[in-house]
Amino acid sequence: MTTLLISHDSSLNHATPAGHPERADRYRAIKAVLEDEQFAMLAREEAPEVEPLAIARVHPMPYVDALRAAVPKSGNARIDADTTLSSGSWEPILRAAGGAVLAVDEVMMGDADNAFVAMRPPGHHAETATAMGFCFLNNAAIAARHAQVHYGAERVAIVDFDVHHGNGSQEIFWSDKTVMYCSTHEMPLYPGTGARTERGEHNNIVNAPLRSGSGGDEFREAMSAVIMPRLDEFKPDLVVVSAGFDAHERDPLASLRLVEADFAWATQQLLEAADRHSQGRLVSVLEGGYDLQGLSQSVAAHVKTLMRG
């Protein structure tokens, strides 16, 4: 079995203001932990810049052009209260999306069994034409559309276990019966979406919100009772994971109490679903996770599970 790690050091160039949780040290922590000898068998590739056409399947080009124009020559340009661009941001934004596309290529062509894209900035809060929540391009959505257009995937499932609801992914696919978006997340919490009653035009949105203070038992119940049955009904041709690790008990931005074993368990459940329906094809893209120890240890558990270790 081959697990592919896709990354690029340009992730370090997306600079955020001092004290911002979505910072370059996140990438450093992940890179360091995945250099451990237990990951020696990982295949590794650098994330390329995404082609404009792949972006345009999700985001209108006037929005993309406006984002590009907002990149400052120095300092930070504020998009909203939480989301900023720096002079070095544009390349990692393109490579985070390009890494997701490359992951789909490698997995759909059978050159890798699954892949993890360790890039920042994250993507799941980015709506069709709105950057927010540290996100600019929706990498998971771009990956899903690429699989459909280039490989004939009739049904793609995006499963999001970030502690924050992926409002962008939900908005993009709200009226699309060919993509199922499933999410566990803390509620109430930013961005305020993700109620169970939000189901999409084709019942293709599956939200399983968790109360503040919920731990592994509640998370596993939500996955087992709500998300996995719907995933089995949908029978996706590809599973895309929005892998946020900010539901970890150490994370400063939320109040769930997951530990590394919970992320490993969820990863295993999704691998088994991919085995049942998608010939094992699974692509995981990094979303949140802001405590460096919790993030790095959770990523290690996630990737080790992807390696069937």
**Catalytic annotation, residues:** 125
Residue tagged 């566990």 (tokens): 184
Quote the CA–CA distance of 190 and 198 in Å, as a whole number: 16
- Alpha carbons 308 and 1: distance in angstroms, whole number: 8
**Residue 124 has which token pair?**
């799941």
Q: How far is CA 232 from CA 69, 108, 147, 170, 269, in A?
A: 43, 20, 19, 19, 11
Query: Nearest 5 degrees, angle CA 238-CA 49-CA 288?
Result: 60
Enumerate the β-bridge partners of residue 135.
132
What phi and psi values does residue 31 have, to the nearest 5 degrees? -60, -40
Instruction: Report which secondary-structure segment, H or E, holds 145.
Output: helix 139-151
For helices 24-33 and 292-306, angle between their N-to-C axes, nearest 10 degrees: 50
**What is the DSSP secondary-structure string of 233-302?**
HH--SEEEEEE--TTBTT-TT---BB-HHHHHHHHHHHHHHHHHHSTT-EEEEE----SHHHHHHHHHHH
Task: Give CA–CA dist 78/171, Å, rounded.
Answer: 23
Distances (CA, A) of 7 to 48, 100, 151, 263, 285: 9, 10, 23, 21, 10
**Residue with token string 């368990």:** 265
Provide the 3-class DSSP secondary structure of residue 120.
coil
Amino acid letter for position 135: C
